[in-house]
């Protein structure tokens, strides 16, 4: 039995906040202008076009975050993280989309889960692991261990 694809909507944003509440004190609820957690509008997580991130027009300042890649239907395709001392999201996504990697046309949007810049690297990876489990992405082949347990990628779970 295959797992159903997950849409990155407000219910999933709330689930991510609930899951990360023990790792990120003060994450609160997903809402506009919340400095932590899923970047949201009034009704939905904000998904920006991948091309805008690649051009540096959006999220050019991001040094530490968990990112969610979606397709045109807001289906979660990939979950990853960046944790650098300088802006890194643009280069990280560009590396994913290098020739011979993921089909570029499937990855159209980027959602962001903000974490504190001073969060330890191990905690950023835990945030990625927990968010990935909540969002169960279609294209990841692995996620960081959480609680000593690995995640089963969809290709192996089917």
Q: State pLDDT tens for residues 74-91.
A: 999 999 999 988 888 999
Give the DSSP letter of residue 105.
G
Mean pLDDT of 44-50: 96
What pTM was estimated for this model as a whole?
0.93
Cα separation of the two ends of the chain: 6
With a pLDDT cut of 90, the percent of the chain lying above it is: 74
What are residue 7's DSSP bridge partners?
A: 75
Who wins on pLDDT, 123 or 98?
123
pLDDT at 98 over 80: no
Specify whether the CB–CB gap between 75 and 5 falls below 8 A: yes
pLDDT tens digits, residue range 99-109? Answer: 766 566 689 99
Distance CA(108)–CA(19), nearest Å, equals: 26
User: Is residue 86 exposed (0-12), middle (13-18) or buried (19+ Cβ within 10 Å)?
Assistant: exposed
pLDDT at 2 over 80: no
pLDDT for 106? 86
Give the DSSP letter of residue 114.
E
pLDDT tens digits, residue range 10-42? Answer: 999 999 999 999 999 899 999 999 999 999 998
pLDDT for 102? 59
pLDDT for 3? 84
């Amino acid at each position: 039995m295959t797992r159903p694809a997950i849409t990155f909507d407000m219910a999933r944003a709330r689930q991510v906040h609930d899951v990360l509440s023990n790792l990120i004190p003060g994450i609160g609820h997903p809402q506009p202008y919340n400095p932590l957690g899923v970047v949201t509008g009034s009704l939905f997580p904000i998904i920006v076009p991948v091309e805008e991130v690649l051009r540096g027009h959006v999220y050019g300042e991001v040094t530490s975050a968990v990112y969610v890649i979606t397709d045109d239907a807001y289906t979660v395709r990939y979950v990853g993280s960046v944790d650098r001392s300088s802006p890194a999201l643009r280069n990280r996504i560009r590396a994913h989309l290098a020739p011979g990697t993921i089909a570029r046309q499937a990855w159209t949007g980027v959602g962001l889960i903000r974490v504190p810049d001073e969060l330890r690297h191990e905690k950023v990876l835990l945030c990625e692991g927990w968010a990935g489990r909540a969002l169960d992405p279609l294209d990841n082949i692995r996620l960081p261990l959480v609680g000593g347990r690995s995640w089963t990628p969809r290709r192996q779970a089917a």
